[in-house]
Every structure is written in structure tokens, then in C-alpha cells.
Structure 1
């Protein structure tokens, strides 16, 4: 397939029928496992992610413990059946290590780690099916799992992608097909309430004339996703009751 193909038709529809400013359908659920302290399942389009949180618990290696804050350990992995690229190592490769670090960066921006000195919080995310926007789906699922675990957070951290269609039209929440056929993709993790950006990554460089409008589109996506996650949390609390520490989070 050739890159930079016209990704929006003359009637304003993308390859999957969405308009430029539409998110893929997001479905999510908290408390999908009983063993972890918190868990969540999230579908963003065809990308499917499970997240599990353990802790806070005692640091296993006491030499790494912090006297004034918790350690946040994040581990990203992909199920062996999550992609058609059979030769790709789904665990332990450089990309997985990089995504684990980026996930940790996003979560450290919101977890109130100062409340848990000498402690550790473990966050595991597993991609069950990959179809673009892997990192945003992992961030969004991890946020829900933290809330399910009752770990106090300053506010939601959400992530979204954006790109350009037909050379000048910003579009939201990029699928794998659009990643392959289109131009550069911008990935943003942000705190929608305060507007703080905690991570911004480009697959390729954008022209300076286009970067600002693509960034604004990605931030709007983060705000829209926050509303969806917040509704899922409220439904979960209504159905199963309040999680410990939930009152300490910002709604």
C-alpha cells in the first residue's frame, strides 16, 4: 500500500466510516479480575488491552525503596496472537521496554506517590489485539485499573493519537491502516483537566505549519476520552460501590 493516500473521501468519511474528529468506539470495564488489587479491560476500535495493578506493597528489593515516595513499576507486553507479525518478539524487546518506560512516565504524573513511602506499585498491561494506537489504549486502561485499585491520583491521564489526512486535514485516533497509508502520527498523553502534556511523540517530523493543529486535535481526543472513562468509573462505582481512596481523586 502506498503512503499518503487520500484518507478522507469527498464526503468527509475516513476508511472506517468515521469523520476526521471522531474517536474509534471505546468500550471499557473495571474490575475484570479478582486477583490483582485493580484491573480494567479496554477496547479502542480493534485494539484490545488488559491492565492489572498490584499494590501498594512492600518493595521487594529494599535497596531500591524510596523513603518519601512509592516506586511505580510498569510492564508492557503483547500477547503472541495480538499481531500478524509472527517473527516479532511480543515480550522483552526494545519496543516493549520503551513503551513500559513511556507508560511509567504517564502514570508518575498522576499517582500520589508521596502517600506511599517505602512502597511499590506494579502496573501490567497486556495487548490482546493491536490495530493502531497501542500506547494510548494502554495508558487509558492503566488509568482505569489504578482507579479500580483505589490508588489516589491527581486526575485522569489519557492518551490519543492524531495525524494529517489529505495533506492538511487533522484527524483523530489513528487506526493501523491509517498509520500505514498516511503520514506522520502524533501520540500525546495529557492531563485533560489541567491541560498538562506528559508525553508527546512523533512517528516522523511534522511541518511546523501543521504541528499545532495536529496537537490540538490530539488534546481534544484526550478530553473526549476522559469523559468516556469517567462515565465508566461512575457506572462501576454505582454498581459495585466505592473503591478505597476513590474520594481522593479528581473527577
Structure 2
């Protein structure tokens, strides 16, 4: 089925068009420490998304007037490569990338102990190599692992996922067709252990009951993502120990 064609139905016999149930996430592969020259890094494949996150710092702030006396500053750059989608994009930041960079930084900032590195910067670069819906959630998830891989003091990891509505039903982890033609899309990021929500955006309309159902799905989805993040970091350090 072509991506630019809206299907007659998104859910057939209880299954979505890619064979998943309503509350099922796409396959995820994640690896930490993939870039030697970064202080921390993470590569994630989430469905057909392919994203790499790299962390540099803490390091000196340039230009110096951006320094903060009692804490580090977090700089987050989300970028979608020009070849990441079917239609060729102009290289460089656009309004969407700038907005995603801002909300992603605000989603991760609450777990970082920035006060331990005054007058410093921590720079996060998230590069989308292949896009298939949910890139901001996948980017936040990978960036959180990359920050932990860099040894940045963190109170916890941040996990993120999207929830949406198709055929009048709430579904977890939208794919590209559901994202393009569905009724609603709601990216959510949270600290799983405390339940604190650090990102909540919505494009579309939920009823009150649908919103409650969507948040429950998001919590369950983020819990699964959190387990994958932990296993990814544990695997890296087990590998280092064996080497």
C-alpha cells in the first residue's frame, strides 16, 4: 500500500495493517557506545526508524556569554537527514526540527544533575537517518541512553512513545500511515518509576475517556521502552567487563 493513500480501514479483525495489536509496539533494537569519538552515544532502530544520538561534554561553553554560573546548560539538536524520508528535504534546520529540539531538551532536562557542572555545556545531537513516524520519541529514548553512556549524572532515564487514534480506537506507537492519516497523535515522554510526564503534545482530538486510555497505554509502552533502555546499557557494560 502506498503511503500517500489513506486506507479504508486501519484495524481489520482486531489487528492493525502491520499486524500489530492496538497496544503493541514496533520491534526495537538499541545499542549504546557506537561512536568512539563521542562521550556517549546510542543507535536505535524502532520499526523502520533509524536514529543515532551522540553526547559531547560536559565541556566549556562557546560562546562564553551563554555560561550559567551554577549549572551546566543542555543543548539538544534534532536533525532529520535529507535522505531520511521519501520526499527529499532541504538540508539544515527547519521550524519543525527547531521545535522538536526544544521540546526534547525540556523532556530530558529534569533528570539531569546539571548543577554538578557549572559554567559547562552538555551537547546532544540526534540524527534521523531513516524516518517512519515517532522520531521525536525515538530520539528522546536514544538521547537518554547516550547521556547515561556518557556518564552524565542522572536521576533516572526518560522513556518516550507516541499514542494515537485510528478508526476511533486508541493505539500505541503509530506507524507512518497511522501518523499521516489517523485522527490523533500524542507523543509522551516520562520518568517511568515516578510516573512524572516530561513531554506531552497532541495533534488531533481525544475525548476525556480516550485521553485517559491513551495515557494508560503510554505508561505501559514507556515501561517496556525503559526495560529495553536498561538492558541496552547493561549489555554494553557486560561487554566491557568481558573484554
- The two structures have a TM-score, normalised by structure 2, of 0.94
Question: What's the counterpart of residue 185 of structure 1?
Answer: 185
Residues 189 and 198 in structure 2, CA contact (< 8 A), matched pair in contact too: yes
Partner Cα distance (1:208, 1:171) in 2 = 15
Deviation (angstroms), 1:3: 5.5
Partner Cα distance (1:4, 1:216) in 2 = 27
Question: What's the counterpart of residue 112 of structure 1?
Answer: 113
Query: What are the residue-to-residue correspondences of 1:74-223 with 2, within 5 Å?
Result: 74-86=76-88, 88-167=89-168, 169-223=169-223
Residues 5 and 181 in structure 1, CA contact (< 8 A), matched pair in contact too: no
Tell whether 2:18 aligns with 1:8.
no
Residues 31 and 39 in structure 1, CA contact (< 8 A), matched pair in contact too: yes
Partner Cα distance (1:3, 1:154) in 2 = 43
SS in 2 for 1:142: helix
RMSD: 1.6
Per-residue deviation, residues 87-121 of structure 1 (Å, max 9, x unmatched): x3342110010011011101211111011111100
Residues 32 and 40 in structure 1, CA contact (< 8 A), matched pair in contact too: yes
Aligned positions, number: 239
Partner Cα distance (1:215, 1:7) in 2 = 21
- Structure 1 gaps of 5+ residues are 242-251
Per-residue deviation, residues 7-54 of structure 1 (Å, max 9, x unmatched): 2211x2111111111110000101111111111100110011000000
Residues 1:64 and 1:129: Cα distance change in structure 2 (over 3 Å): same
Larger mean Cα displacement after TM superposition, 210-219 or 126-135: 210-219
Question: What's the counterpart of residue 62 of structure 2?
Answer: 60
Partner Cα distance (1:2, 1:131) in 2 = 16
Deviation (angstroms), 1:4: 8.1
Runs of 4+ with >4 A deviation: 1-5
Partner Cα distance (1:211, 1:190) in 2 = 16
Residues 25 and 45 in structure 1, CA contact (< 8 A), matched pair in contact too: yes
Deviation (angstroms), 1:192: 0.6
Partner Cα distance (2:134, 2:110) in 1 = 20
Partner Cα distance (2:7, 2:87) in 1 = 23
Deviation (angstroms), 1:5: 4.3
Residues 4 and 183 in structure 1, CA contact (< 8 A), matched pair in contact too: no
Partner Cα distance (1:228, 1:40) in 2 = 12
